[in-house]
Amino acid sequence: MSERAPVEPYDVVDLITQKRFARQLSRPEIEWLVDAYVRGAVAPEQMSALLMAVVIQGMERGEIQALTAAMIASGERMSFAGMGRPTIDKHSTGGVGDKITLPLVPLMASLGVAVPQLSGRGLGHTGGTLDKLESIPGWRALLSNEEMERVLREVGGVICAAGSGLAPADRAMYALRDVTGTVASVPLIASSIMSKKIAEGADGLVLDVKFGSGAFLASMEDARELAETMVRLGQDSGMRTVALLTDMDTPLGRAVGNANEVRESVEVLAGGGPRDVVELTLGLARTMLELAGFEDVDPEPALANGAAMDAWQRMIRAQGGDPDAPLPVARETETVRAAADGIVQRVDARDVGVAAWRLGAGRARPGDAVDHAAGVEVLVKPGDRVRAGDPLFVAACDNPARMERGLSLLAEAVELGAEQPPHRPLIAGRVA
């Protein structure tokens, strides 16, 4: 006699229908749904339908909490108890030229705060921290939990890929969201990010929630909703959580790509670098120090006196990299020049990010290779005055066939006008 399949406590079609008509799902229903999908009792087509219903109808606070908890329960939980120093993590929702993690982690390590930074890879127009660091010869993103903890204890900071045991349900669901147009949803984004961050086990978390053309959420209102949702999830779990709302309408810094962003990060660690990158690095550092109970510590001197640079070099070496090795340089470069006189009104972050992606700095699908030398140098910012013929961008890549597609976007990425544009603060708000 063949074995009968177990009787499931819920009917997934019924749950899809409930959510389609904006009815709340209970905690037991959500817990079963996540577990059943991981077990294969719910088909991908069914989970896709339910995710689309969530995108359209949303979720209430209790549902989001239940979804986050169910994804955490699908895997292991880490702990950094006994580290001997506070552990504060940072997460950015992604942007163009957003290399802040690279100088921020060693800066915090030099100030006595341990940062267990689990990072990801780029997809589409937003760059990935791991892709940037893999420009450094020998550097390894994949560490075991034991290796991660060793580097954290020895250096005070580690940047690596999340292990497969951390919130595996989220990994499976995100892969489905990525190919079904269900990424841009506040409940799904919040539960995805926070399930991994809570499972990671840090004492506190600072969120950099971005809005603007280069962010996943264009409006500040949507970014604030996401920030409030994630802060509540963190605080409800007992993790001190604060979010900063930051403007991603203009690329951060000058460099957009991989190796060129590492170079710019090293400039910041040496006490230089673009003003906006330094401003956001220090703004996030001060918020992390506040969560660690180090409110009286000023992070700025550590960039000038070499302490943060020393921590960077130790961190890179601890993960197999050579911080003194030459970084990749592209074989092909082209300069985009201004077609007329004027004052720069806008540098569209999304256009620049997509241009860098077309040049080879990003990937269209998970697993695609990236060209670490490819990217864009942004030579102007809003408010700069330019004359016809002045350089606006330098595009770089190793594959000449990619160049034209990147240049076509950069030619339209700068808007000129006759008046000074209104000032837009980089850090536009805080949610705590």
Q: Of 92, 110, 135, 192, which is the active-site residue?
A: 192
91 is an active site residue: yes
Strands (E), 58-173: 88-92, 115-119, 157-161
CA–CA separation, 65 and 69 (whole Å): 6
4 is an active site residue: no
CA–CA separation, 339 and 62 (whole Å): 54
Q: Of 121, 132, 177, 358, which is the active-site residue?
A: 177
Strands (E), 181-319: 204-211, 240-247, 255-257
Q: Which amino acid is at 319?
A: Q
Contact between 264 and 255 under an 8 Å Cβ cutoff? The reply is yes
Q: Which residues contact 317 (CB under 8 A, 6 or more apart)?
A: 323
Under DSSP, the state recorded for 126 is B
135 is an active site residue: no
Q: Of 91, 121, 314, 350, which is the active-site residue?
A: 91
Q: Of 89, 170, 247, 249, which is the active-site residue?
A: 170
CA–CA separation, 14 and 149 (whole Å): 44
197 is an active site residue: no
Give the tokens for residue 228: 């409030």
Give the tokens for residue 199: 């499972």
Contact between 160 and 119 under an 8 Å Cβ cutoff? The reply is yes
Side by side, the strands of the sheet bearing 427-431 are: 88-92, 204-211, 240-247, 427-431
Side by side, the strands of the sheet bearing 385-386 are: 385-386, 342-347, 414-417
Please state whether beta strands 240-247 and 332-337 pair in parallel, antiparallel, or not at all (unpaired).
unpaired
Give the tokens for residue 104: 């921020």
Q: Which amino acid is at 406?
A: G
Query: 374 exposed, middle or buried (CB, 10 Å; 0-12, 13-18, 19+)?
Result: buried
Side by side, the strands of the sheet bearing 255-257 are: 255-257, 375-378, 391-397, 332-337
For every residue of 336-405, DSSP letters joined together read EE-SS-EEEEEE-HHHHHHHHIIIIIS-SSTT----TT-EEEE---TT-EE-TT-EEEEEEES-HHHHHH
CA–CA separation, 407 and 268 (whole Å): 28
92 is an active site residue: no
Known catalytic residues are 91, 170, 177, 192, 196
